[in-house]
Amino acid sequence: MNINEAIDLLKENGYKATGKRKDILNYFADSDGYRTAKDLIKFLEKKDDAVSFDTIYRNLHLYNEVGILETTELNGEKHFRMNCTHHHHHHFICNKCGKTKEIEVCPMDEVTRSLANYEIDGHKFEIYGLCPTCQ
Amino acid sequence: MNINEAIDLLKENGYKATGKRKDILNYFADSDGYRTAKDLIKFLEKKDDAVSFDTIYRNLHLYNEVGILETTELNGEKHFRMNCTHHHHHHFICNKCGKTKEIEVCPMDEVTRSLANYEIDGHKFEIYGLCPTCQ
DNA sequence: TTTACAAATCGTAATGATTACGATATGATG
DNA sequence: CATCATATCGTAATCATTACGATTTGTAAA
């Protein structure tokens, strides 16, 4: 997802596109990988753009709700990345830099068969390790 | 893993098998699903067995390190369950009761081929939903 | 079995991330 | 450009987890 799509999504859901919200979107749009709340705070502080915790966390949750960000837990910390809007896929995630690579394989069709009486709401398939650059 | 295997594992690693450690092991051995630190604390309080936070968290980490417990994040909370010692497999996890069902499918062979220059350290494949009992 | 001692636990204080709140500022709409 | 609901600010409160000095307890040797 790019910034414009994200802003549209905000407006569609009745939320304002404020300066702070755009700053946060810019950060994730340029990241191309998983980042923590702390990463974001550091980034905003560097550009002399003091942001209240309230604003950070409120918007991270909001973005997750409306589908702008997706989230996962890496090494005990919550991480966020821009949501992928195209076809269904999964990710390799680098433990060092947080960058991701798309994985096309998804075994859910096979799995569903063996869970006949179960109600399936979601699934997670992630591969962890080091990307070529971080090795 | 059962309690005796867990105690052996502790001793092999040079740790003592104390009363509190056995209480904690008993809880997870009887659970057959994912439980939080809070669940454990509640359980121990009920049986009039006051346990310090220090003891709870120190041992949860220890058990995770030596391979007695495995951990995952569910609905924003860290959960633990007795580790499976037999063949490699994954889990369906009930969002309500935390109980698990084994899934034999694992797509890692297929995936490895598409990650030639990546160093793979681990992977996670989990299916979430409601078990037949909780629907 | 007793002793000795390192390891484990206790009770509580400290930490750190996240959430909450009243006051102020700001985007969107007419 | 005026209005007002929404968003943000600065800070305080909360909650889970971690840390610490004092005390207790397994373990293994005597």
Say if B135 falls within a structural domain.
Answer: no
pTM for this structure? Answer: 0.93
CA distance B27 to B37: 11
Distance from CA of A61 to the nearest CA of B (A): 12
Residues B78 and B99 occupy one common structural domain: no
Residues A71 and A7 occupy one common structural domain: yes
Look up the CATH number of the domain holding residue A61. Answer: 1.10.10.10
Say if B23 falls within a structural domain.
Answer: yes
Say if A134 falls within a structural domain.
Answer: no
Residues in Cβ contact with A118 at an 8 Å cutoff, skipping those fewer than 6 apart: B92, B101, B129, B130, B131, B132
**Residue A17 at interface with chain B, using a CB cutoff of 8 Å:** no
Residues in Cβ contact with A103 at an 8 Å cutoff, skipping those fewer than 6 apart: A89, A90, A91, A92, A125, A127, B111, B114, B115
Q: Considering its fold, how many domains does chain A have in total?
A: 2
Residues of A in contact with B73 (CB under 8 A): 73
Residue of A nearest to B122 (CA): A128
| Closest CB to A118 among B92, B115, B120 | B92
pLDDT tens for chain B, 135 residues: list them: 999 999 999 999 999 999 999 999 999 999 989 999 999 999 999 887 788 999 999 999 999 999 999 999 998 899 999 999 889 999 999 999 999 999 999 989 889 999 999 999 999 999 999 999 999
Contact A113, B119 (CB under 8 A): no
